[in-house]
Amino acid sequence: MDLASDLSSRMRAYNPETDPALITKAVDYARKMHDGQKRASGEDYYTHPVAVAGILADLKMDPTTIVTAILHDTLEDTKATTEDLTKLFGEEVATLVNGVSKLTKIESQTVEGKQAENFRKLVLAMSEDIRVLLVKLADRLHNMRTLGVMRPDKVRRIARETLDIYAPLAERIGVHALKEELEDLAFSALNPEARDSILNRLTFLRQEGTDVVTNIISELQGLMKEASIKAHVSGREKTRYSIWKKMQRKNISFEQLSDIMAFRIVVENIEECYHAMGLIHSRYPMVPGRFKDFISTPKPNGYRSIHTTVIGPQNHRIEVQIRTKNMHEEADLGVAAHWAYKQADVKAAINDAKKYRWLRELLDILEQDQRPEDFWENTKLELFQDQVFAFSPKGDLIELPNGATPIDFAYAIHSNVGNRCIGAKINGRIAPLNTKLQNGDQVEIITAKTQNPSPTWERFVVTGKARSHIRRFIRQQQKTEYTTLGRAMLQKIFKAEGYEFTEKAVAGVASQFRECEDVEDVFAGIGSGNLVARDVFRVIFPAHKSEGDKKEITPEDFAQNAKAQVNKISRDKLPIKGLIPGMAVHFARCCHPLPGDRIVGIVTTGKGVTVHTIDCETLEQFADTPERWLDVSWGEGKDTPEERVGRLVITIENQPGSLGTLSTVIGKSGGNITNLKITNRSVDFWDMFLDVSVTDTKHLNNIMAALRATPQIVSVERARGR
C-alpha cells in the first residue's frame, strides 16, 4: 500500500466521508514539488510531510488540516505559490499552509534572533487559526523522532527549543499526547543517562508491582460497582520527564517518590464524577492540599477533571483522576477535538479557539516594541510555568504562573489596568504589590489615572506580559530623559558658537546618523552618549572652526553643570530605585530611613518624593490617598556621599561619666553623634533622643549592640515616627 492509500485508510477509520482522491492529489503534488530533495537520513523529502499528516490523522483531524500538513513545506522549500495552492486545493488550505510556512528568510545577527522572529510569525499565524499550531507541533514531533542523523550540537539545540517552546504550547492547547512525546524525545536527547535510569527503575517496579496495580484497579472498580456507578478504571504511569521534573523540583531521589502511578476513573456524567469523589474520600484518607476540582473551575485550555491524592488500597499513596468520557477525550485531544470529523461548524471552532487567554497574552507581548530576543524570553516566561488560579471580584478566573503578584494579575486583566495600578486588595485586605498570590485568592486592583509603571516592578513580576509592558515604559521614559538632555546639550553648543538653535537644522542631518530617523532620535542619541553633540554640530556647520572643537562636552559634564541636574544616565546609580530620573528625593525626618530598611515613597506636591520606612507611623496619614504611594527600594550602587542619620531612643543611668561612655562606645563603632535631646530626667535615669551618623542599618545595629553591652546603658531602641 502506498503512502497516500495508507493515510486515506487511516482517516476513513474515523471519518468514513474522507475523499481518497483529495489525499492522493495532495501527496502527488508534494512528491512533485519536493522532487530531488532529500532528508538528512537519505529518504525522499516528501515522506516527511506525509508522516506529519499521519500524526494528525492519529488525532482524528479534519481533511483540511491533513492536506495542509502534506503541503506545509511547499511554499517554503519549493517553487509552489499561494496562488497555485488556492487554485488546486482552495483558499482555506492555502491560508493555513501560508501560516505554517516561515514565509521569508529572516536576516538576524543571532540564531536566537532567527528563532524568535520565526516564532513571532507563528504566533501571528496561529492567532488566526490554531490549526496552524497543530500542524507545526506535528511537524516538530516528526523531526524529533528523526533527530538521530543530525550533529550532536544541533540535536541539543532543537531539543532545548522543543522543551522551552513547543511542549508547553502543546500543553496549553491540551494535546497531551503530543506534549508527552515531545518532552520524552527532548529529554532523551538532552539527558539520556537520567532518562535511561528512570526507565530501568520503572521497568523494575512494573515487574515487581504488577499485582499491586491490578489490586488497586480491582478495588476501585469494586467500590464504584457497589454504588451502581458504571465506570472504567485504569492505571497509568507518569511520564519519565514529569518524574524527572518532580525529582528536580523537590530535590528528592526516585525512591522517595510515592505517586508515580495515576489511576483514572471515567464515568458517564458530571453527577457521577462528584459521587465517585465522595466515595473515594469516605473510604480512603485524603492527602491535604492535593485536591483540585477542574470541573467546576476548568483550566484555561479547557481541561476538566477532578484530581485527588489519597492513601489508597494497601496503604499506597495514589493519585486519582475522575472525569466523564467527553472530558477524557478532550483531555487527550485538547483543542484538536474541535476539528474532529464530526465537528459541524468550523467557524465556531475557530472562534472558540480564539478565546484562549494565553494566546491573547502572546499577541499582547508581540505588540510591544521590543527586540526579537526579548519576545523570545517573555514568551518562554508566559509558557513554561506552573500555575496559580486567582479570582477577580466579579468571579472571573485568572490563570497565572507560580510566584505571580498583584501586578501580574493586573496586567492579565488588561494592560491599562496594569499600567495604572497603585495598590491591591487580596481577599479584602490591602497587600503589598510584591505579594505572591496563592490558589483561590480574590484580587482587587486599585488604579489611578495619574499612575505609571514603576521600574521596581520588573524585579518581582513573573509574567512575560507584565515584564514587556514595564520595559516598554522604561524605554520610553529613558528616551524622554535622553531627548531632554541631548536637546539642551546641543542648544548650549549653538549658543556658545553664536548660532540660533533650530530643530529644522538638526532635522536636515538626522538621516546621516545611524539608527536616527528624526530629530528626537538625534537628541536621544546625544543624551545617551551614542552620539557626540559637537559631531552633530560639525555636520550641520561643516565649515565652522572654534575653540570648542578642542574639548567635547560629554553628557556627564553637562549633567554636573546643568541647573536642572537631569539624570546622569550612565555612570553612578541612583540611591533609590523606582523613581523617574531627575525626580527630587527627600528622606523623612520622622523615621530616618537607612539603606537596608524596607522603604516606600510618598509623592508630595512641589517637593518630589519623600522616602519613609515601611513601618513609619506617619504613613497612616496617607492611607486614604494610595495614588501617592510609590514602590521604591535602595539602589545597588553607592549611596549619596554623605552618611545617613539614625535616631535612637536611649535610657542611661544618671551617673558621672555615663554620657562620656556613651560617646566613646559610639565613636569606637564608627558612628558620630550629630544631635542629642534629653526628654526626661529623674534621680536614677535619663531618657534621650540621639541622632547618629551611620552608613546603613547594619552599621546602626552594630552600634546598638555595642551600647546594649555597656553597663551604664539601660535600654536602646531605634526611634520610629518621632
| pLDDT tens track for 26-45 | 999 999 999 888 887 788 88
Of 44, 76, 164, 687, the active-site residue reads 76
pLDDT in tens, 67-88: 999 998 888 888 888 899 999 9
Which stretch of 165-179, 238-252, 675-689 has the lowest confidence by average pLDDT?
238-252
Grid cell at residue 143: 523531526
Contact 97, 136 (CB under 8 A): no
What is the per-residue pLDDT for 272?
93
What is the per-residue pLDDT for 582?
59
Cα 103 to Cα 101: distance, rounded to the nearest angstrom = 5
Taking residues 685-697, report their average pLDDT: 89
Across the chain, what does the average pLDDT equal? 78
Q: In the chain, what is the greatest distance between 2 CA atoms, to the nearest angstrom?
A: 110
Which of residues 341 and 627 earns the better pLDDT score? Answer: 627
**Confidence tier at 316 by pLDDT (50, 70, 90):** confident
Taking residues 686-693, report their average pLDDT: 90
What is the per-residue pLDDT for 49?
92
What is the per-residue pLDDT for 624?
75
What is the per-residue pLDDT for 127?
54
Cα 310 to Cα 320: distance, rounded to the nearest angstrom = 8
Contact 639, 585 (CB under 8 A): no
Active site residue 77: yes
What is the per-residue pLDDT for 561?
47
Which of residues 627 and 216 earns the better pLDDT score? Answer: 216
Position 473, amino acid: F
Which of residues 199 and 575 earns the better pLDDT score? Answer: 199
Which of residues 196 and 86 earns the better pLDDT score? Answer: 86
Which stretch of 148-157, 442-451, 564-573 has the lowest confidence by average pLDDT?
564-573
pTM of the full predicted structure?
0.51
Judged against a pLDDT cut of 90, whether residue 265 lies above it is answered with yes
What is the per-residue pLDDT for 66?
92
Cα 714 to Cα 710: distance, rounded to the nearest angstrom = 8
Grid cell at residue 273: 464524577
Burial 128-154 (b: 16+ CB within 10 A, else e): ebbbbbbbbbbbbbbbbeebeebeeee
Active site residue 6: no
Of 6, 44, 58, 77, the active-site residue reads 77
Give the helix ranges, DSSP H, for 497-580: 503-507, 519-528, 533-540, 555-561
- Which residues, listed in sequence order, are joined to residue 681 by a DSSP beta bridge? 686
Taking residues 123-136, report their average pLDDT: 70
**Confidence tier at 546 by pLDDT (50, 70, 90):** low
Under DSSP, the state recorded for 442 is B
Judged against a pLDDT cut of 70, whether residue 133 lies above it is answered with yes
Cα 379 to Cα 371: distance, rounded to the nearest angstrom = 12
**Confidence tier at 270 by pLDDT (50, 70, 90):** very high
**Confidence tier at 326 by pLDDT (50, 70, 90):** confident
Grid cell at residue 421: 495600578
Domains of the chain: 3-194 (1.10.3210.10), 195-335 (3.30.460.10), 472-561 (no CATH), 576-634 (no CATH), 644-718 (3.30.70.260)
Under DSSP, the state recorded for 61 is B
Give which of 565, 517, 560, 513 is closest to 539, Cα–Cα: 513
